[in-house]
Amino acid sequence: MPSAHRLLQALARPLERINTAEAAITASQRRPGFSPSPLGRFRKPFHGSHPRHDPHHAAAPNQHHAIALGAALPSLFRARTLSTLRLVPTNDDMAGALKGTGSPPIVRTASPAPLAQDFVRQQVAKQQRTNFHSTSLKTAPFTTMVSASVNKTNLHPAGVQPQREHTEIEEELHDKAHIDYDRVAIVANPSVAALYEDALVYETGSAITSSGALSAYSGAKTGRSPSDKRIVKEESSENEIWWGPVNKPMTPDVWRINRERAIDYLNTRNRIYVVDGFAGWDERYRIRVRVVCARAYHALFMRNMLIRPTKAELEGFHPDYTIYNGGAFPANRYTSGMTSATSVAINFKDQEMVILGTEYAGEMKKGVFTVLFYEMPVKHNVLTLHSSANEGQDGDVTVFFGLSGTGKTTLSADPKRALIGDDEHCWSDKGVFNIEGGCYAKTIGLSAEKEPDIFGAIKFGSILENVVFDPETRVVDYDDDTLTENTRCAYPIEYIENTKIPCISSGHPKNIILLTCDARGVLPPISKLSTEQTMYHFISGYTSKMAGTEQGVTEPTATFSSCFAQPFLALHPMRYAKMLAEKIAEHGSNAWLLNTGWVGAGATTGGKRCPLKYTRAILDAIHSGELAKAEYETYETFNLSVPKTCPNVPDELLNPAKAWSGTTDFKGEVKKLGTLFMENFKKYEDQATTEVIKAGPHVCCCQKD
């Protein structure tokens, strides 16, 4: 490859021809009645000849470089490069300005001469600093925009551009949030391909993987930040909210500060994205949601997770709730009530959500979930569930309650049953409906053999989060937790082949399965629950918090999450528990406690995670009705009914006492966990019945009267 010096010499020859042509054009313009432009430069509309250049004006070296390079570049770059020289005043212009015959000269700072080998790189950088990109182009073609100018004169050859007509979305964002629609390109409901392009160009860490899915990096926060969740304390919802460590109050003044901070950040971006969608497949209860964000990654994520409107539904779409995601910009830690640079706040009166200080996309998804935990019970008497759900060929519905990492997504993706949804549902008077339009599956340890449905859903349109891939083949290593244990993939729900569309069932749940992931290894893999036991374990919501699902969690930790959804609840847990009890009684549902955690021993004492094939075999027996007919025995301390046999599952695995091989005392571990249950339930005893309290575990040193 020739050096930069030789390249410039080779390209310098056309310069003389350009200058000669420029001189002829300039001379023809210097006629009576031709006035200089406000820039001090003689101007005429360009009709295809070379850009004008004064040969008598000694061009600066960097100008010669630009001209010489432009002659060899493609026509688009050449035209854009050379046309900029028209803005540089000549000596004659300067003289005319001094004599009063022209406009005052414009003082311009000389830029350093670019190196030839850096020129293309600088052009790319220039595009990245502007709004010139596929999703940033206005709807009107360029020729229309040029011809729209009026009142053109020789003095003002560009004329006057009429004020651009703004879209309805732009007007709404400007009026409601003061988004500067004249400076910021507002990209409304872009296509998947356009979001891919923008993510690849503008967002570090983005790549297209071998499966066709887009890989994105969420930054320092790779999990939710539940300690930074805030609810605005205002008169319309103050008496409904369950205030405490889950829902910390935020004053309206601090809310306004954080909202303004997020919007100010969005106004500094060259482009922002707007994604409109629905939450809730039942049209009687669905909520219109608008997401305003600065990252293509976030826009594609919510495009997948919300229910995608039709083109007709987007016409005149007006949101019930709006999310302003300024996650790349921190909250002010010194603002009253802020404990960190992260803030995830919801205002039920203004029907808005503001995110600062975290780029983890899951915050938006779970924010919408919290909205439904408030709106559905309070306004419609509909029960919101942190659950997955599927439907059998006979219309029988199974609901899986559980926290992240317990297997909701994995177990609901059953090739023998139609998927209704993998995470968020509502139970109404007419059946069960999904809240979302997509799935958000954990991918750590994923393989085509273990979870073929989820593995097959990772393709073009899906977005992988914080995964590690081979830099050459772009094949993802799903076992690599270098960035986080909480690797995820968000994909449209229809990517699961046997999804029920629309995601709604007229059947009421026949089986209710409470999922837990017990890291101590002392809970049975499966137990049949009475109504009172169902209430007790639903309110308790025991599981082991799995590594990576929240910021700072690096190993399994015992936790109790009421209703298996405590981080997302808006109301007191007993309110949801009573609604569930009423529905179980009304529809005669069967309930089960399914442990997807450790068997044989604890996670740190030699146990192993219950193999997925055994968990699926247990589910098959539940759905076929075989497990309900099995012989049961009572599991001490917890008083659970445990089957003695289950098809395709080793008998010794079903009872932890028989399968124990750990290095610690089994009975001691059982008592420890039973005591934790009892201590946790004390905060609910004042609102629970005696039968529900007695349905829990019993450690002999404590009386339960």
Is 505 known to be catalytic? no
Residue pair 603/521 in contact by the 8 Å Cβ criterion? yes
The residue to which tokens 């004064």 are assigned: 54
Annotated catalytic residue, options 54, 228, 414, 423: 423
φ, ψ at 398 (rounded to 5°) = -120, 135
Tokens of 592: 């089960």
Cα–Cα distance list, 145 to 80, 137, 357 (Å):
17, 12, 39
Annotated catalytic residue, options 366, 417, 500, 528: 366
CA dihedral 440, 443, 448, 449 (to 10 degrees): -110
Is 111 known to be catalytic? no
Annotated catalytic residue, options 65, 408, 425, 572: 408
Annotated catalytic residue, options 229, 295, 386, 520: 386
Annotated catalytic residue, options 224, 365, 508, 623: 224
Strand 352-356, strand 343-347: pairing? antiparallel
In SS3 terms, 198-267 reads as HHHHHCCCCEECCCCCEEECCCCCCCECHHHEEEECCCCCCCCCCECCCEEEECHHHHHHHHHHHHHHHH
Cα–Cα distance list, 509 to 402, 552, 581, 615 (Å):
16, 36, 13, 20
Is 423 known to be catalytic? yes
| Among 360, 126, 347, CA closest to 256 | 347
Residues forming beta bridges with residue 272, ordered by sequence position? 186
Is 13 known to be catalytic? no
C-alpha–C-alpha distance, residues 137 and 660, integer Å: 65
Tokens of 215: 């890989």
Is 366 known to be catalytic? yes
Annotated catalytic residue, options 211, 215, 404, 516: 404
C-alpha–C-alpha distance, residues 696 and 578, integer Å: 17
Is 57 known to be catalytic? no
381's torsion region: left (phi>0), alpha (psi -120 to 50) or beta? left
Annotated catalytic residue, options 78, 298, 488, 616: 488
The residue to which tokens 């519905």 are assigned: 397
What distance, in Å, lies between the first and last C-alpha atoms of the chain?
Answer: 90
Is 578 known to be catalytic? no
Residue pair 662/670 in contact by the 8 Å Cβ criterion? no
- Rounded to 5 degrees, what angle do the CA atoms 262, 264, 268 make? 115
Is 488 known to be catalytic? yes
Residues forming beta bridges with residue 489, ordered by sequence position? 441, 464
Helix (H) / strand (E) element for 590: namely: strand 590-595
Annotated catalytic residue, options 409, 443, 516, 527: 409
Tokens of 550: 């929240």
Q: Which residues are catalytic?
A: 224, 366, 386, 404, 408-409, 423, 488
